Chain A
Amino acid sequence: MAAPQAIVVGCSAGGLAALELLFSALLPNLQQAIVVCSHTGSSTVELMCELLAQHATLPVVEASERAPLERGVIHVAPSGYHLLVEANRRFALSVDERVSYARPSIDVLFDSAAEAYRDALIGVVLTGANSDGAEGLARIRRNGGLAIVQDPADAEAAAMPTAALDIAGADYCVPLAAIAPLLNRLCLP
């Protein structure tokens, strides 16, 4: 694996609390672009961004169409659209069919980011109630990136991390509280 340049994070049920904890413990001088795809029932992620910003050590913004991924910034996928990363490392949106009943789909984000960042990408799968993200995480690993999965025993909803382990496997399978220290170590060697 090359020096990581981006981190993509996927979660659904129980995701907000998990993200709050994760982002509260990241070092504020991380140089990676961070992108979050969370299944949310609400029509916008405005509130979610606000809540995360209260805990996060890094700035939190809604990912904006065509905008470049910014280092040291947490980008949240907008509600109702798939979020993709282009090879030129800018965001793109789509309203294509739902994938695994979800839009945004974690697989769609992970697949495209895996192509754009290849072995400079870290994929993280947290708590969640379905199997979205598992195929995408497998793609990240095939492209030389690194996979971190929350220990299902530690997750509020175990289905998503379990599916990720089954389909993609992981380089690290650790409890939530250990993920931020791990990312800090991997990203700021």
Chain B
Amino acid sequence: MKEPGSAAPLADADLQDIEVELFVRALKLRHGYDFSQYAPASLKRRVLQLVQSQQVHTVSDLTTRLLHEPAFLPSVLEGLSVPVSEMFRDPEVFRALREHVFPVLASYPQINIWQAGCAHGQEVYSLAILLEEAGLYGRSQIYATDFNENALRHAQEGIYPAKEAQLWSRNYLAAGGSQSLADYYSARYELIKLDQRLRRHVIFANHNLVTDEVFCEAHLVLCRNVLIYFSDPLQDRTLALFRDSLVRGGFLCLGTRESLDFAPSAIDFTPVNAALRIYRLGPRLGAG
């Protein structure tokens, strides 16, 4: 620790850490969004990207605008959430959902699915297509939530760059899709728009995993590559939230590289497919 008042110059990196901390504090105090429990390295990277994209000089400049310009908030939230995904990302996961999870879901008269952190909605539409093809969509309800209003609006529109379509079509087929992905969108200029009939059982809603409580009673919670941005305690809190939302025997699907090794709440879940991070609520059968 430095002596208080010592004149030793601070390394740029240390100074930036202080600025990021103040920025996060300002965001919470001024607007109620709490990023203090986000994993620091990625958060810092995103804040520094905001400095660049907003063409200011320092993180402190961002903080000033955040405090004094209410209209600045959406840009900040957009920058901090960076919603990047693709349709049927990790196709083997969607294949496993179709082959091993849907048959269980089929036994419920009404199927509730919570997609937590839906970002721009690519996975919402992926899921709707899979359910449609499995003949289950008619009695399904998908709750797609995110804390970022812009992302939710984008998700509702279902419009994406056409250059993505080729990869997404490959993913769709690898996921076991029975038609052609092109059957589900219309292409126009440089854009594709997903068939809005796919939205008929989707409710888009604002929900913040950091501060909000249980959202619905769900048979399946999909939350892929969201918790990777959370610190250990916040990851654990969110897992407990999912546990409290799921029916007994309900499913949880995380990103394929996520680790539950540091989350005490993981004990409530049993792996169905450990490699693909598909779990079921309930005690592990047998020893271990």
Q: Which residues of A contact B (CB under 8 A)?
A: 64-67, 78, 81-82, 84-87, 92-97, 108, 111-112, 114-116, 118, 142-143
Contacts and interface: CB of A to CB of B under 8 A. Distances in A.
Given A66-B232, A96-B46, A78 B41 contact: no
A66 B258 CA distance: 8
Contacts of B46: 96
B13 interface: yes
Given A65-B228, A92-B228, A96-B46, A81 B40 contact: no
Which of A87, A92, A143 has most B Cβ within 10 Å? A92
A82 B45 CA distance: 12
A115 B41 contact: yes
Contacts of A65: 228, 257-259
Contacts of A86: 39-41
B85 interface: yes
Contacts of B229: 94
Nearest to B226: A95
Contacts of B40: 86-87
Given A65-B259, A66-B259, A142-B12, A93 B45 contact: no
Nearest to A82: B42
Contacts of A64: 257, 259, 261
Given A96-B46, A143-B11, 9 more contacts: A65-B228, A65-B258, A66-B262, A85-B41, A92-B42, A95-B228, A95-B255, A111-B45, A142-B12
Contact of B39 (A81, A92, A116): A92
Which of A66, A94, A95, A97 has most B Cβ within 10 Å? A95
A56 B284 CA distance: 37
Contacts of B44: 115
Interface string B258-274: 11011000000000000
Contacts of B41: 84-87, 92, 112, 115-116
A164 B81 CA distance: 31
Nearest to A79: B257
B225 interface: yes
Contacts of B255: 95
A116 B41 CA distance: 9
Interface string B4-48: 000000011100000000000000000000000001111011100
Contacts of A94: 42, 45, 228-229
Contacts of B232: 66
Interface residues of B, number: 23
19 contacts: A64-B257, A64-B261, A65-B228, A65-B259, A66-B232, A66-B261, A81-B257, A85-B41, A87-B40, A93-B258, A94-B42, A94-B228, A95-B85, A96-B42, A96-B46, A108-B45, A112-B41, A112-B45, A142-B12
A97 B84 contact: yes
Contacts of B12: 142
Interface string B37-73: 0011110111000000000000000000000000000
B257 A93 contact: yes
B216 interface: no
Contacts of A108: 45
Contact of B228 (A67, A85, A93, A142): A93
Nearest to A144: B11
Which of A66, A78, A115 has most B Cβ within 10 Å? A66
B82 interface: yes
Interface string B216-246: 0000000001001100100000000000000
B103 to A, nearest CB: 26
Which of B11, B232, B257 has most A Cβ within 10 Å? B257
Nearest to B91: A43
A167 to B, nearest CB: 17
Given A94-B228, A95-B225, A84 B259 contact: no
